[in-house]
Amino acid sequence: MGYAPGGSGGGEAVETALIAVDWGTSNFRAYDVDATGAIRDRRAAPQGILQVPDGAFADAFADLVGDWLEAAPDAPVVMSGMIGSRSGWSEAAYAACPADAAALAQSLHPVPFGARTLSIVPGLSTVGPSGVHDVIRGEETQIFGALGDTAGRTAVCLPGTHAKWADVADGRVTGFRTAMTGEVFAVMAEHSILGRTMAGPEAPADAAAFARGLARADEAGGLLHHAFGVRAEALFDALKPAAARSYLSGLLIGHELGGMADILAAVPEVTVIGADALSALYVEALAGRGVATRRVAGDTAVVDGLVRVARLARLLKDAP
């Protein structure tokens, strides 16, 4: 955001200038934004694209923010996230890397909605050095929101079910990698033998066990071997069920970072975007490798990214 709206009362700055929407797999989040990029109002619902029946996205959208749309009939609507996937409202083709925020603005995907045309921000695709593809949908908006016009080379990490690591040069995403860290944690905890000696998600985080897992990830043997240690240590009572979740989390995040060693060696700092608790674990793990970090909250990054793309697309005036 440029800055918070000054004072209260009338004036253009406090009217709705953009309806910014982050519509993901599990959640819907909308922001009523003024011309300065400040949030006037926000709304969230557990109405991710998987929860919308029979592709009735237009109905769901009207239910969720119909009053906003009516109150600001001329405000543009820009959306990012899985809403633009094959399983979403309308498929927005991926923009290919390298790509900057202007490239997204030029590739907005139009969706007719009554008298309006809504815009979906495309995801990004990349092809690694050996020809393997990777994709992002939603995080690209957060990356451009969090980075602004940062010059030079930097990296962005978005932890989660499918963690994303973007390599950025002069405001342009040159490539990225997805790591299935969160999903592997979940399937191993729920469906593998490791779950038998592991307390449930209600167990409090154990900082010492997390640090042990991180350290273990740097030793010989590889992830497939280290993971079995969760079981073997439990057999010898060397890892308590309440500590096992944090240990496995440390193991996986440690291996994720190990896989990004080439990126980490090339950048002065990593911007970590996400929720507090998970971001804190990544900041700790990166600090252990001597990597400087900067944190940006996930919703701040989304709104700033949508505002930035909307400005570049001339849907929203430049900040006053």
Residues that bind its own copies (CB under 8 A): 125, 128-130, 132-135, 162-163, 177-181, 183-184, 187-188, 190-193, 215-216, 219-225, 227-229, 232-233, 235-236, 238, 252, 255-256, 258-262
Which SS3 state, helix, strand or coil, does residue 26 take? coil
**In whole angstroms, how close is the CB of 164 to its own copies at the nearest point?**
10
Dihedral angle over CA of 251, 27, 164, 275, nearest 10: -60
Nearer to its own copies, 134 or 284 (CB): 134
For its own copies, the closer of residues 6 and 241 by Cβ is 241
Nearer to its own copies, 89 or 185 (CB): 185
CB of 252 to its own copies, least distance (A): 7
Identify which of residues 106 and 125 has a Cβ nearer to its own copies in the complex: 125
Burial 141-179 (b: 16+ CB within 10 A, else e): bbbbbbbeebeeebbbbbbbeebbbbbbbebbbebbbbb
Q: Based on CB atoms, which residue is closest to its own copies, 5 or 229?
A: 229
109: three-class secondary structure by DSSP: strand
> Residue 272 CB, nearest distance to its own copies (Å)?
17
Smallest gap, in angstroms, from Cβ of residue 192 to its own copies?
5
Task: Measure CA of the first residue to CA of the last residue in the chain; give whole Å.
Answer: 12
**Residue 243, token pair as written in the block:** 């500590």
Q: State in angstroms the smallest separation of the CB of 60 from its own copies.
A: 23
SS3 4: coil
In terms of Cβ atoms closer than 10 Å to its own Cβ (0-12, 13-18, 19+), residue 277 is: exposed
Q: Which two tokens stand for residue 286?
A: 């990166």
CB 310 to its own copies: min, Å: 27
For its own copies, give the closer residue by CB, 151 or 191.
Answer: 191
Cα distances (angstroms) measured from residue 37 to each of 33, 69, 314 = 6, 18, 14
